[in-house]
Amino acid sequence: MILTVTLNTALDLTYRVPDLRPHASHRVTEVIERPGGKGLNVARVLAALGHETTVTGFAGGTTGHLVREGLAAVPGLVDALVPTEGASRRTIAVVDRRTGDTTQLNEPGPAVAPAEWDAFQRAYERLLGGADAVALCGSLPPGLPVGAYAGLVRTARAAGVPVLLDTSGEPLRRGVAARPDLIKPNAEELAELTGAHEPLRATQSARRRGAQAVVASLGAEGLLAVTPEGRWRAAPPARLAGNPTGAGDSAVAGLLSGLVERLPWPDRLARAIALSAATVLAPAAGEFDRAAYENLLASGVTVTPEAG
């Protein structure tokens, strides 16, 4: 079983409009509603790949109820979310059909009470007992300590469960010091963590700070991986137009599934790139275009060793 943690779950709403313009009214041509938050997106992709997956974190209020209803419809996915008194947040993606660009609006999430945090930590420790790997994903809701992820990393390591951390800012800085098996920052998050803007230098610096392996997401340029086994760059064949929401989460699913399946690093990176690109072509976060994924995996991803 693969465990994903989403401490700040969301109800994802995707609106499609013909032409997004500031200071104007818009007629929405399509609305898509899905359970959201980075870890839930990761979990849906893992389930679609055939992995038994359990989700935990927090869910509350009317939006939390809708999130859980949506998760119940996903085959192979087990809901172990912990209830909160506060309502789960919403995220809104507005997709401009003319340009393909996406504008994202993210609510902060509900305040988590100390008793709710304690209940989650007890549930997390129990779930680790049956986990082959765990992903800690996304932002922290109000009320949680900034070192929350660092504590969860240490708990996973004590249980002997490989842990992937995908967050940003001070939670990432503290989490890296707890020595996760893998982190997956984007270029901005990596620069904030290390102070370095050259990708290879920044990625190496992140490893020295405690991460055993670092896979940096460089947008259209693909992924840069620095691991104990070597260094690689992986890239799609071309820039793809579409909705990028959730593409990074699909890359995490590719990396995590490859870890559990004990794939060589180049194969893990190829899967991550193919899933990420196929997600850009899908209508909503947490989904991917399977035909595009299979085509990219077969012939459309370049993985090369990185010198330096």
User: Which residues are catalytic, by number?
Assistant: 249
Give the whole-angstrom CA distance, residue 87 versus residue 223: 35
Task: Give Cα separations from 186 to 82, 120, 142, 144, 225 (angstroms).
Answer: 29, 28, 23, 23, 12
Q: Which of 78, 90, 88 minimizes the C-alpha distance to 112?
A: 88
**Residue 77: which residues within 8 A CB-CB, separation 6 or more?**
43, 44, 47, 53, 54, 55, 71
71, two tokens: 């998760």
Looking up tokens 């990596």, which residue turns up? 190
Task: Give Cα separations from 306 to 9, 91, 127, 140, 296 (angstroms).
Answer: 36, 37, 37, 34, 21
Strand residue runs (E) in 50-162: 53-60, 77-79, 82-84, 89-96, 102-106, 133-137
Under 8 Å between Cβ of 80 and 52: no
Q: Report the residue count for the chain.
A: 308
Cβ burial of 40 (10 Å; 0-12, 13-18, 19+) is: buried
3-state DSSP call for residue 178?
Answer: coil
17, two tokens: 């409009």
